[in-house]
Structure 1
Amino acid sequence: MANQTWNITMGFIIPIVLGIFTISLFPEFLAQNKTTLMFFVIGTALAFGYFFVVKVLRWEIIRKLLEYREWMYDRNSFKTKAWGVTLKLLMPKKIKLFQMEKYLPKYPLPKLEVTCKKTLTMVKPLLSDAEYLKVVEAMEDFLKEEGPKLQKVLEKRYDEHENWLAELWNKYLYLGSRGPLPVHSNYCCLGDKLFEYDDPRSNQVSKMANFMYYYMEYLGKINNGSLAGLMIQNLVPICCDRYRYLCATTRIPGESIDELKRFPNSTHVVVFRKGLMYKVDMKSVDSDGKFTFLTPSEIQGQLEFIMADADRVTSNSKSDI
């Protein structure tokens, strides 16, 4: 809020100072047109000040509007419709990937009573009547003893962090999980469906070369933030912070907890072929000395070399046995 007040103040002061400085360069004109120049300076200051005020207030109003959550539960109410129209008028027509991060509301922290009530609702269908009564008794004790203390810890995290849950979730539920990743965590694999609209005459290598090229192009848009931001119903922006971990990120195994490490300046990919690993740098230096991404045909040449080299190495290994 202090920064916004400063911006508004400067919006009025700077035009006045510049106007006075400009007028001081022409003292004779100033002596003959004092009243006109005075109104000119004041008018200019008001115009610039109005611009700064509107700009700052616009984003403050957007910030407050985004705190409204009832649109998810009561879409047809007059309040929600008025909220939607107002937000639509104020929001930029196009937003970039990370543009709205500082205006989004914090991840909400539910009250302890609400958390306990939802927990009971969730477990009730899974338990017998006797088991459910035991859980209810345990929950009542929790509300009186450990619950309030733990809630205060979370409230402190809520005040000190943009997202009180993100670090806890990543550390203990994701990186701390010791279960097999392909079954218990997010993973990705690519199959024939990815290329079903490609030219059937193209082969596996050319398809993958095109995929690698556009993948690096997509990564570049993430890094410079030029990718379009995500919107719900083309109206409500959502947090896109996880996009930073979509590419050039690896999970380093640890004994009790893993480590998530990013390499935002990475420009290479690793290709596996017949048990061998190859590092392919996706950038090269052009004739002007600038770094540019390899073209799909250049990438295809690299992949064809890798296939031939892997075949040669593995065939030699078999002959040595």
Structure 2
Amino acid sequence: MRNRDANPPRASANETALRSRLHSLAPLFSGRRIAIVGDIIADQFVHGEISRVSREAPVLILRHEHTETVPGGAANCAMNVAALGATAQLVGVIGDDAAGHALRKKLEAAGVICRAVQTVSGAQTTTKVRILAGRAHAPRQQVIRLDYEDNMDEADRLRPTLDAEAHKAFAECDAAIISDYGYGVASERIAEQARRLAHERRIAVVVDSRHSLDRFFGLTSATPNEAEVEDLCGERIRDAQHLEEIGQQLCRRLHYRALLITRGANGMLLVEPDRAPLHIPAVGSRDAVDVTGAGDTVIAAYALALACGASFEEAAHVANYAGSVVVMKRGTATVSIEELLAALAHST
């Protein structure tokens, strides 16, 4: 192991100068086009008031109040890109069902380009249903989640179309995001196209893969969390120094220019192959209201900053500020450009 005193992690730039630089990046977002390729998910939130205990079994009965369906997964990435003022072009698959129709409507209303979103007749949109319960006049808390996962067998016939749409989106973009939740949209062919994009056009391609990050080698960067790093490396992270060592090994193994590891309340760790690791403390409140979809916000802000010419360090700080805003919102949410600028201006 290296001697931490001899080679300590590098410090961030002067905070005032850094915030000024980040503030100057934000106006550039509106001129950027981001391609988002991956698994589109419907995040559904069912709200109910606890009324009584059932006579049939020792379980609570909830009086249904309302149900909300919002874009999740790759669709949430696209929503965040659009909310930050950039042009978002989404490539993915939805089912020909109520959830799929609701997602397309909300995406288009937000300004996301959906012409490459394929609708599969007879298939169910992947849906994550969160049951939120509470007493009258009390905050609702998540008590259980139900996942409806359609393997989209019928979508196999769309593989050439998806690959072709990804190719067109990559050809027009200033940066790309691959959002892989394990439902099959991000194919090997798309990964190959993304590698060419990163190397030939020098376009930033950032990936978030829940289970298969090692399939997406040779791209620009990735944004795994600590648990995903542990799964990839097959060992438990003991402390911050151990995370640095594992992160550097993973960054080199996957041939990335940088790796941004998210750590929840502990902030982020930025690893670049030939630089000392950079620990980025969390900003804002350390008591998150809801972390649902926060990773989608982080990768959207990170990729967008890179598209504007930011360094990896600058892009990581932009993502950190965006994440600090979204975790204070309930449910799957987005961060607007105005909220990001306010966070940059007022953070201490």
Structure having the higher strand fraction is: 2
TM-score (norm 2): 0.18
TM-score by length of 1: 0.19
Structure possessing the higher radius of gyration over alpha carbons: 1
